[in-house]
């Protein structure tokens, strides 16, 4: 037996030294986790943030031509009950005229076209539009029922959106995003 061999290496049985190495290593791991846990735990979202993951909005009082802005995940969300004229105006626009031909609707496949119907609340709810109210250029909040297409207009840099929230003119690269949402009833929309 050389002077560097341990008892366990020569006989194959654990020694007291092996046990001490193992327990010291385990104590170090437990200590490191107990020190790190408060830092890891503080990175989790708090209860108020988790509560905003999904909201329900009663839209029963919103008549055609009226809008409502709610806050969801720290961003404004535009909810509009469009008039039949606004729905028809959105439906009549050929996709070839659009700056961004993608729907940007989280409820549809990523490559869905930006038709008036694919930007709306869905079949039977074409008059409803729900969009994150943040300009896709620099995040400003556009003004509703403004601009050349009577949709939304961002006065900061001149982005113009139509009645379906599709970018038509200006520096914004994409249509206003549509979050996940669903009608829980005829008068309640769940966002998120």
As annotated, the active-site residues are 157
Alpha carbons 141 and 104: distance in angstroms, whole number: 18
Query: In the chain, what's the furthest Cα-to-Cα distance?
Result: 95
Taking a C-beta distance cutoff of 8 angstroms, is the pair 171, 179 a contact? no
Strand partners, 152: 144, 161
Hunting for tokens 């006989």 — which residue is that? Answer: 11
Hunting for tokens 């008036």 — which residue is that? Answer: 116
Using a 10 angstrom Cβ sphere, with 0-12 exposed, 13-18 middle and 19 or more buried, the burial of residue 191 is: buried
Taking a C-beta distance cutoff of 8 angstroms, is the pair 92, 143 a contact? no
């Amino acid at each position: 037996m050389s002077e560097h061999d341990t008892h366990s290496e020569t006989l194959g049985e654990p020694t007291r030294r092996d046990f001490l190495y193992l327990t010291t290593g385990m104590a170090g791991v437990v200590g490191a986790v107990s020190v790190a846990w408060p830092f890891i735990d503080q990175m989790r979202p708090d209860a108020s943030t988790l509560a905003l993951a999904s909201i329900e909005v009663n839209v029963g009082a919103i008549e055609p031509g009226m809008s409502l802005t709610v806050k969801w995940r720290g961003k404004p969300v535009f909810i509009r009950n469009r008039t039949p004229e606004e729905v028809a105006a959105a439906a009549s626009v050929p996709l070839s005229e659009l700056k961004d031909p993608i729907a940007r609707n989280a409820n549809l496949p990523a490559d869905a076209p930006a038709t008036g119907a694919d930007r709306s609340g869905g079949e039977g709810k074409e008059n409803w539009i729900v969009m994150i109210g943040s300009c896709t250029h620099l995040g400003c909040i556009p003004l509703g029922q403004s601009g050349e297409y009577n949709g939304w207009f961002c006065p900061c840099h001149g982005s113009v959106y139509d009645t379906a929230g599709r970018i038509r003119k200006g520096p914004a690269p994409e249509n206003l995003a549509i979050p996940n949402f669903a009608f829980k009833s005829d008068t309640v929309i769940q966002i998120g």
